Amino acid sequence: MSVLVAKIAVSAATYWIDRPYDYLIPEEHRERVRPGMRVSVPFARANRRSEGVILALSDHSDYEKLKPILALLDEEPVLDEEQIRLALFMRERFFCTVYDAVKAMLPAGLWFKDDGERRAKDKTVEMARLRLPPEDAAAIADGKRMRSPQQANLLDLLCSFSALPSRELLRFTGAGRQSLKALVNAELVELYQHEVYRRPDVFVGKTEPLPVLNAEQQSAFDGIDALASSGEAGAALLFGVTGSGKTSVYLHLIARQLERGRSAILLVPEIALTPQMLHTFSSHFGDEVAVLHSSLSVGERYDEWKRVRAGKARLVIGTRSAVFAPCRDLGLIIIDEEQEETYKSENSPRYNARDIAKFRCTRANCLLLLGSATPDIVSRYAAETGRYSYFRLENRFNEQELPAVRIVDMKRELRRGNGGSISAELRDELASNIERGEQSILFINRRGAHKLVSCGSCGYTYRCPRCSVSLTYHSARNRLICHYCGFSRRVDESCPECGGILKYIGVGTQMVETELHELFPEIQVMRMDTDTVTPAGSHDALFTRFREENIPVMVGTQMVTKGLNFENVTLVGVISADQSLYAGDYRAGERTFSLITQVVGRSGRGEKPGRAVIQTYTPDNETIRQAARQDYDAFYASELELRRLQNAPPFRDILTLTASGPDERMVLQVCRYAKDRLAALLGPRSDAELLGPTPMAVVRVNNRFRYRVIVNGKNSAPLRAALSQTVCECNTDRRFRGVSVFADNDPLD
């Protein structure tokens, strides 16, 4: 077959015109061009230069006149056949362009800047090595000792090594660059460029043996490993109470895959957990481990991707995007804390890492393992109905009891005159821990000092001028900040409307930290939220300080609730257990149960028994009581019945069509049109229920109003096709200019 035509996904193509475009392959490129390579092509009537990726090659086209490819941007394909299939799957499933999918799959260092340079270049080091046998070089060095001592020293050192970086060679010998050049000119030494990898900090030292599994862990390992070695695609759910040792099971499963010559991917929900996991796994697997997450520099991420692609690292640890790692002979994907919402992308492509993992495991005939102490209701139902295999770890690995939990009624605290965020019971427990030299973790899922600032006389509140939310007060900067668009301003000394006294309402991490300093002025308090951990690597530095300096109290947001293992932490306090309970989302109860259960599980993970105090204004709430008992089975049973009544997942799927724009009336008009169009496309026989238009939880963000149509039904190909067509029509209809429309599968809010 004579290859003449390339089917190309073009980056300039929007979703409503996205398809493979045919381009003529010029004669000079026909021998080199292959699927998976990026190219430069002319696009649209203006022939604007645009990037594209070759999806397939053909010997014919349905079009007579074809534009030619302008240039090849890669020497080798950056995507293999399976990755191209994955990009096409993402386009169909997640309502994105193929090129958006490709950009999500590849590291930023592979992409190009405006000047045409790649964002990250291969890093090389100049190396020096002998061009003759060491014995001959030593003899020549002896002859140069008197006349050219620096050259003699260079030759002596190179006799002991096969090659050395030229910079190090000159530094160790004290020789100058001219002496090295003289040896090169004499053809005694040669210089060459050696590629090196920019690596994040990893464990360096002697590898440790794998931990010994107890009987319960061994039973789970045997069952899961049998599935992983079957050579068939499958999925399993590993339920284990907090502290049950799921990580030890992961270690043994991954070791078994590496022994078989296969590779593995381990996903964690938070960047904060990556350094801890990286240290644990690299202490057992050494340089086999690569890490991929957004806090790495562009160069580090690019080089880690290259190591994985070259087969030099067969275990990948990272956050959501690590699911795209180009592993060879994939044998296992593990998603730890699989219920976490951070595995769902909120920007295009709006994928869930679990769906990508399922696709990859199906194509590679390998196992997907989901692990959690509070599994997602949908995953647990899949295990109950036999779609997933199911394994349980009922006890903590060290045989310790789960923490003793007490629920504190904050209404009673108010009646007793305590208007602070820390109850008398929690204060006493903190004092007891401080006296014994033990550590405590306090959790509140809100950063800043106060939720809002309001006037006690006229009721005035500071609101964001661009978003429909109140501004949050941050005491450290004495500023009011919008957590959606970043708008900030200073707070007035009195009410700007009536001159009345301003009240500070609600509590955040900063306020809790301030109260702790007032209650215990002699102790050190560490705060963990996005205001304190922005720089790359600061998570690990703060956790290391907390452990090594034995800081008495750490207060933080969600990043302190999961995956952390501090043996001296014996007390956990949940400051406001109600905060996420009434969010207006069908997942509100599940989120609350998971957060409380996970953070309570940080207590008593060593030899000392743990305790927990949960503060709430609704102490009789069933979800809070189930979380206090760490009773996932009871929660699952009650939540499943509620989902059945709501027609919510796992019984029905939820898809949305969202419109946003500066004109609220126009946005609503688009939503009404989209709802009618969907009804017409689906037809009267469809069992899908259309709801809306309904405002999003925060209806205006950065001066754009946001409404959506909710589709409740089975996530089938015909339903996705109807949604896709409606999105395309709405975005191309001139009546709706200025309004952007997109679809999403199982959105977070």
DSSP labels for 623-670? HHHHHHTT-HHHHHHHHHHHHHHHT-TTSSEEEEEEEEES-HHHHHHH
Nearest 5 degrees, angle CA 39-CA 42-CA 43? 110
Q: Cα separation of 732 and 670, whole Å?
A: 12
pLDDT of residue 656: 96
On the question of pLDDT at 552 being above 90, the answer is yes
Tell me the pLDDT band of 274, cut-offs 50, 70 and 90: confident
C-alpha torsion 94→95→100→106, nearest 10: 10
Question: Where are the domain boundaries for CATH 3.30.70.600 in the chain?
Answer: 653-745
Q: At what angle do helices 134-144 and 149-159 cross, to 10 degrees?
A: 160
Per-residue pLDDT tens digits for 70-112: 999 999 999 999 999 999 999 999 999 999 999 999 999 888 8
Per-residue pLDDT tens digits for 637-687: 999 999 999 999 999 999 999 999 999 999 999 999 999 999 999 998 888
Q: Could you confirm whether domain 404-449+507-643 is CATH 3.40.50.300?
A: yes
On the question of pLDDT at 607 being above 90, the answer is no
pLDDT of residue 449: 61
pLDDT of residue 273: 77
pLDDT of residue 722: 96
pTM (2 d.p.):
0.91
Per-residue pLDDT tens digits for 446-457: 876 667 788 888
On the question of pLDDT at 536 being above 60, the answer is no
- The identity of residue 474, as a single letter, is H
Query: With contact defined as beta carbons under 8 Å apart, do 556 and 529 qualify?
Result: yes
- The identity of residue 363, as a single letter, is R
DSSP codes of every residue in 349-411: S--BHHHHHHHHHHHHT-EEEEEESS--HHHHHHHHTTSSEEEEE-S-TT-PPPPEEEEEEHH
Q: Cα separation of 724 and 248, whole Å?
A: 44
Q: Cα separation of 659 and 574, whole Å?
A: 37
> What average pLDDT score do residues 700-719 get?
95
In the CATH scheme, what is the code of domain 215-393?
3.40.50.300
Residue in 216, 242, 403, 252 with CA at minimum distance from that of residue 337: 242
> What average pLDDT score do residues 724-742 get?
96
Return all residues near 45 (Cβ < 8 A) that are at least 6 apart.
none
Strand boundaries in 75-188, DSSP class E: 124-130, 164-165
Above pLDDT 70, what percent of the chain? 97
pLDDT of residue 202: 67
Cis ω on the peptide bond leading into residue 693 (within 30° of 0)? yes
pLDDT of residue 396: 84
Minimum mean pLDDT range among 245-249, 531-535, 699-703? 531-535
Query: With contact defined as beta carbons under 8 Å apart, do 492 and 502 qualify?
Result: yes
> Distances from the Cα of 635 to the Cαs of 167, 408, 666, in angstroms?
63, 20, 42
On the question of pLDDT at 578 being above 90, the answer is no
Return all residues near 303 (Cβ < 8 A) that are at least 6 apart.
109, 120, 123, 197, 198, 199
Q: Cα separation of 324 and 308, whole Å?
A: 11
Cis ω on the peptide bond leading into residue 650 (within 30° of 0)? yes
Which of 1.10.3470, 1.25.40, 3.40.50, 1.10.10 would CATH assign to domain 124-195? 1.10.10
Q: Which CATH superfamily does the domain covering 5-106 fall into?
A: PriA, 3(prime) DNA-binding domain (3.40.1440.60)
> What average pLDDT score do residues 225-233 get?
95
pLDDT of residue 204: 60
Query: With contact defined as beta carbons under 8 Å apart, do 391 and 223 qualify?
Result: yes
Token look-up 């600032």 returns 453
On the question of pLDDT at 392 being above 80, the answer is yes
pLDDT of residue 54: 97
Per-residue pLDDT tens digits for 115-165: 778 888 888 899 999 999 999 999 999 988 888 999 999 999 999 888 999
Q: Cα separation of 79 and 94, whole Å?
A: 20
Question: Where are the domain boundaries for CATH 3.40.50.300 in the chain?
Answer: 215-393, 404-449+507-643
On the question of pLDDT at 185 being above 90, the answer is yes
Q: What is the DSSP letter of 607?
A: S
Minimum mean pLDDT range among 182-186, 199-203, 337-341? 199-203
On the question of pLDDT at 1 being above 60, the answer is no
pLDDT of residue 576: 87
Per-residue pLDDT tens digits for 170-179: 999 999 999 9
On the question of pLDDT at 445 being above 80, the answer is yes
Per-residue pLDDT tens digits for 357-387: 999 999 999 999 999 999 999 999 999 999 9
- The identity of residue 361, as a single letter, is C
Structure tokens at 110: 């592979």
Structure tokens at 416: 């007793």
> What average pLDDT score do residues 573-602 get?
88
- Alpha helix ranges (H) inside 437-577: 509-519, 538-548
Query: With contact defined as beta carbons under 8 Å apart, do 315 and 288 qualify?
Result: yes
Mean pLDDT of the chain: 91
Q: Which CATH superfamily does the domain covering 653-745 fall into?
A: Ribosomal protein S10 (3.30.70.600)
Minimum mean pLDDT range among 60-69, 147-156, 573-582, 679-688? 573-582
Question: Where are the domain boundaries for CATH 1.10.10 in the chain?
Answer: 124-195
Residue in 745, 533, 554 with CA at minimum distance from that of residue 652: 745
Q: Cα separation of 692 and 69, whole Å?
A: 46
Residue in 627, 625, 613 with CA at minimum distance from that of residue 440: 613
Structure tokens at 393: 């770890």
